[in-house]
Structure 1
Amino acid sequence: MEGQAEMDPSSFLSLFAAVSYGIASMAMVFINKAVIMQYSSSMTLLTLQQLATALLIFFGRRMGYTKAKGIDMATGKKLLPVSLFYNANVAFALASLKGVNIPMYIAIKRLTPLAVLIAGYFSGKGRPTTQVAFSVFLTAAGCVIAAVGDFSFDLFGYGMALTSVFFQTMYLVLVEKSGANDGLSSVEIMFYNSFLSLPFLFFLIVVTGEFPSSMSILLAKCSYLSFLLILIISLVMGIVLNFTMFLCTIVNSALTTTIVGVLKGVASTTLGFVLFGGVEVHGLNVTGLVVNTAGGVWYSYAKYQQKKAKPSKLMPDLEAHRK
């Protein structure tokens, strides 16, 4: 009887992965917003985050702190499209934070299931269940209502956020088709994703004109201790987020990761109203966000019901990779 009170290692790991991913994912939105408010070169920021991740794992492997394998060309070739779409998603998401407040950013990102649903339908996966379909459309309707009531509407920011949704959809579809995490640890997936991202990101910061001026601006701003501290936290949290996301995907069920994503979104929306300026609260805007959140919760419940109805289904759920 005494042994039943103790949590077995696998259950503890599952709980730890879910909680850490939820905290890291929520914190990253606010940390990136804090950096972008002072440093607008979002592509350079993403490049630094990926570079820090690749270097940490590389030296960790050299010093024996991790057993991650080296680069395999066949695996790298397989994961290259996934990495490109992943970074395009993050890059446009960072760019959108320049003009979109956090509650609306989260509401727009909840359109991803709708985009995935449509992509799945046209790729021959068939129709979703009635509950899933209605919950997704409710989420989308809430986003539209909130946008109409958003008096701080920024066309560029909304465009970047919607483009991010498109690339996130493509990323999820590719992950599902390629089974990108088969046989790889979370650390190894992180390393491939970061390593493959760097040439693409370096090319973009040069083509877009961010580099080299972005580095000189960054060095000047780093003379301020407050900004330097936020930047370091951003780089560290970028590593933590990637690790916890892949760990949660590998260790937990789709149900757990879906609920974590929704709860993170609810908490982030609430905190977004009070932690940063630029959010004008209006009845229509709040109503839309409530409807959007309700759709997200309903969506989680619908997926839970679907999973219970098919307990033997082992195909990875797309929601396991939502950011």
Structure 2
Amino acid sequence: MAFLNKALFEISNFQNSLFVVFIQLLFIILSFQILGYIHVMHIPVMTKNDFYTFLVPSIFYSLSTILSLQALMKLNVAIYVVIKRCTPALTFLLQSIILKKKKLDLKTGLCVLAMTSGAVITSIGDLTFDLESYIIGSLSVIFQSIYLLTVQRCSEQKTSSEVLYINSLVSLPIVSIILLIFSDELSNVQSYNGYKTFSFWLYFLSSTFGGGLLNGATFWCIMKNSALTTSVIGVLKSILQVFFGLFVFDRLSINTNTIIGIVLSLLAGTMFSYFEYTSKHKKSFTSTNHIDYEQQNHQSTNLSFDTQEIATNSEKETLK
């Protein structure tokens, strides 16, 4: 998805990230409406309570998405991916420190430190270093982590499609306000002179469809698949994006710092995902064993009562 957006920004020179986010959200909402109209799926209903519940997560989602595309416009894809890979680690830290839901141990702490160090080392080796883009990219990571934490609380009783639809509905007016009041992108869109080119429509439609499908796939993957599947897919995607990002669009200056930083970040991210999975697997295994133990005790108790009852009945028959 990063490559499609980057192609739209670089090759087609369509530097309007807010408008792209707006169209992607609109595409998601219209897709639900069309699929519901032809009875392929049920259209989720957003209540007033849902609006207030998802308002805060949607604000952070909108800010994260907008800032991510803003950073992508100026950063190399490989650098962008390295920065975005810090999101799971930051989310883990926030869960540990603020929500007290995770226990921060030495291994995961070192992984978080290594990922952050990798991003810093990579930035040092970036000869086209742009401080503003790095700050914007870092803010997008922070907002995305906060969004992930807040949406977890809101979506406990919702399906993935309901969360996606409601989140898009609430986010659309937020993005619209930012687009209309705080930017001049509408005038840029009107004055853009590349609408007659095939490449623009190829990248624009691919970005629109890809953004909608990516959002849907992300929500579905989180709620349907195992932790291992989600983690492995995330790591493999990052490795491929970094590899191809080194050589496409604005090529990254490959030097010792960039190689060390990227490798360190990817290895730390892989180990972090592995530690997270093994931790969850152990908890699941312990919980399953505890349930089996309780069931065995319950069965043993019932068997003991049945044996005593049979013995009592036998004694009564003997007395008779």
| TM-score, normalised relative to structure 2 | 0.84
SS of residue in 2 equivalent to 1:171: helix
Task: Measure the CA separation in 1 of the matches of 2:129 and 2:251.
Answer: 10
Mapping for residues 13-32 of structure 1, pairs under 5 Å: 28-32=1-5
Contact 1:146/1:284 (8 A) holds in 2:
yes
2:61 and 2:143 in contact (8 A); partners too = yes
Q: How many residues align?
A: 284
Change (3 A) 1:294 1:249: same
The answer to whether the aligner puts 1:286 opposite 2:280 as a matched pair is no
Tell me, what secondary structure is at the counterpart of 1:289?
helix
Q: 1:257 deviation in Å? A: 0.9
Q: Give the counterpart of 1:212 among 183, 186, 197.
A: 186
CA contact (8 A) 1:69 1:188 kept: yes
Q: 1:306 aligned to 279, 284, 308, which one?
A: 279
Matched with 1:229 is 202
- Match runs of 1:247-286 below 5 Å: 247-286=220-259
Matched ranges for 1:132-147 at <5 A = 132-147=108-123
Residues in 1 aligned to 2:283 and 2:116: alpha-carbon distance in whole angstroms: 27
Alignment of 1:139-218 (within 5 A): 139-176=115-152, 178-184=153-159, 186-218=160-192
Offset at 1:121? 3.5
**Which stretch shows the higher mean deviation, 64-73 or 41-50?**
64-73
Q: What is the match of residue 219 of structure 2?
A: 246
Of the two, which has the highest radius of gyration? 2
Find the aligned partners of 2:99 and 2:162 in 1 and give their Cα distance.
Answer: 32
> 1:253 Cα shift?
1.9
Q: Pick from 47, 66, 78: which aligns with 2:41?
A: 66
Amino acid at match of 1:253: S
Shift of 1:221: 2.1
Give the whole-Å Cα distance in 2 for the aligned partners of 1:187 and 1:42.
25
Give 1:52 shift. Answer: 1.3
Give 1:179 deviation, angstroms. Answer: 4.2
Kindly indicate whether the alpha-carbon contact (under 8 Å) linking 2:93 and 2:104 is maintained by their aligned counterparts in 1.
Answer: no
SS across alignment from 1:75: helix
Q: Is the 8 Å Cα contact of residues 42 and 95 (structure 1) preserved in structure 2?
A: yes
Q: Give, as a single letter, the amino acid of the residue that structure 2 aligns with 1:192.
A: I
- How far the C-alpha of 1:297 sits from its partner, in A, is 0.9
Q: Normalising by structure 1, what TM-score?
A: 0.83
Classify 1:223/1:294 alpha carbon distance in 2 versus 1 (closer, same or farther; 3 Å).
Answer: same
Give, in whole Å, the separation in 2 of the partners of 1:147 and 1:313.
42
- Residue 195 of structure 1: how far off its partner (Å): 1.2
CA separation of 1:119 and 1:239: change in aligned 2, threshold 3 A = same
Deviates more, 1:41-50 or 1:116-125: 116-125
Retained in 2: the 8 A contact 1:99–1:156? no
Most deviating of 95-104 and 202-211: 202-211
- Mean Cα displacement is larger for which, 275-284 or 97-106? 275-284
The structure with higher relative contact order (CA 8 Å, sep 6+) is: 1
Q: For the structure 1 residues 134 and 252, does the alpha-carbon distance in structure 2 shift closer, same or farther, using more than 3 Å as the test?
A: same
The unaligned stretches of length 5 or more in structure 1 are 1-27, 315-323
Structure 2 unmatched runs, 5+? 288-320
Aligned mates of 2:59, 2:43 — CA distance in 1: 22
Distance in 2 (CA, whole Å) between partners of 1:271 and 1:231 is 21
